[in-house]
Amino acid sequence: MSDSCFDFHCHSLASDGALTPTELVQRAAEAGVQLLALTDHDTLAGLAEAEQAAQAVGIRLVPGIELSVGWGSRELHVLGLGFDRQHEAMLALVQTQQQARTVRAERIGARLDKAAGLANSYQRAVSLSGQEAPGRPWFAKMLLQAGKVRDEQHAFNRFLKQGQSCFVPTPWVSLEQAVVVIRRAGGVAVLAHPTRYNFTRRKLRACLTDFVAVGGGGLEVLTPGLNPQQQALLAECLHDFALHASGGSDFHTPKQTWLELGRLPPVPTDMPLVHSLIGA
């Protein structure tokens, strides 16, 4: 299966993507993807629809999720792939995360009311997203619509990213809790986009030591836009920690024209893939 086109990281309207699960699956199929994991942030809400759509267009859907987790004082993203999406422990974990997201969204809203001089920021983001717990990209879209920022990136830079006035620290589940639940539900845990945490080599290795110790199995190394130095570092980590490689576009919206579903770097022939861990 490794030589067929796959994508194990993307988002739909169930979290912060722009397409419905059906539209996303159809777009993936048109792009030649045969094996797709929908990995919305801390929710399983899009999976049932995505499965139906995948069946209709004749591609295979792997259940997926992207969990925000705490590791020390840092926030990391862990992908769960190939788990039972009805497993009780997974459902409970998602509920915990959604509660944390709801409280966070209300707090972001309250801060934005002051900092951006808006009324009802939280309610505006709820209406726009159709979600009770809209993530930060929905607040960015809302600020753009309200004419408070030039574009969504500006909203992150001015208000929403860590270090800015409307960033709200969130009590995410721990790295260990997330990995344990993914495994208990029959899936494999993958550390997402390892180059996006501003880790030194040493810190990345410390993180992977903990990740592997609690049962982490995969590292997302096949992603667009890595430079040769980053590719070499990830190949080294893959080998040293005996991890399996995952790959994904992290597609959110057709507006990011430089990014497409399934468009990943070539897979080195000797690279062990997460496919073998999820029966794909």
**Chain contacts with ligand AMP (rule: CB under 6 A):** 16, 41, 135-137, 153, 156, 161, 252
Q: Which does 156 bind (CB under 5 to 8 A by kind): Mn ion, ligand AMP, none?
A: ligand AMP
If binding is defined by CB under 5 A, does position 250 make contact with Mn ion?
Answer: yes
Q: Which does 70 bind (CB under 5 to 8 A by kind): ligand AMP, Mn ion, none?
A: none
User: Among all chains, which residue has been given the structure tokens 């399934």?
Assistant: 262
Q: How far apart are CA 160 and CA 151, in angstroms?
A: 13
Least distance (Å) between residue 134 CB and ligand AMP = 8
DSSP label at residue 273 = B
Q: Which is nearer to Mn ion, 16 or 106 (CB)?
A: 16
If binding is defined by CB under 5 A, does position 101 make contact with Mn ion?
Answer: no
Structure tokens of 212?
């592997």
Nearest to 141 by CA among 116, 124, 162: 124
Q: Which is nearer to Mn ion, 114 or 196 (CB)?
A: 196
Least distance (Å) between residue 144 CB and ligand AMP = 12
Q: Which is nearer to ligand AMP, 22 or 43 (CB)?
A: 43
Q: How far apart are CA 233 and CA 237, in angstroms?
A: 6
Q: Which is nearer to Mn ion, 169 or 268 (CB)?
A: 169
Q: Which does 154 bind (CB under 5 to 8 A by kind): ligand AMP, Mn ion, none?
A: none
Bridge partners of residue 81, in order along the sequence? 64, 188
If binding is defined by CB under 5 A, does position 152 make contact with Mn ion?
Answer: no
Among 47, 53, 67, 77, binds Mn ion (CB under 5 A): 77
Find the angle CA(84)-CA(99)-CA(134) to the nearest 5 degrees. Answer: 95
If binding is defined by CB under 5 A, does position 16 make contact with Mn ion?
Answer: yes
Q: Which is nearer to ligand AMP, 60 or 161 (CB)?
A: 161
Q: Which is nearer to ligand AMP, 87 or 161 (CB)?
A: 161
**Residues 211 and 237 sit within 8 Å (Cβ to Cβ):** no
Least distance (Å) between residue 248 CB and Mn ion = 8
Q: How far apart are CA 61 and CA 48, in angstroms?
A: 10
Q: Which residue's beta carbon is nearest to the bound ligand AMP?
A: 135
Residue 57-76 contact track with Mn ion, rule CB under 5 A, x = bound: ---------x----------
Nearest to 34 by CA among 271, 268, 264: 264
Structure tokens of 250?
């992290």
Q: How far apart are CA 68 and CA 76, in angstroms?
A: 6
Q: How far apart are CA 62 and CA 180, in angstroms?
A: 19
Least distance (Å) between residue 229 CB and ligand AMP = 22
Q: Which is nearer to ligand AMP, 11 or 183 (CB)?
A: 11
- Residue 40 has phi, psi (to 5 degrees) of -70, 155
Q: How far apart are CA 75 and CA 77, in angstroms?
A: 7
| Binding residues for Mn ion, total number by CB under 5 A | 4
Residues at the interface with Mn ion (CB under 5 A): 16, 66, 77, 250
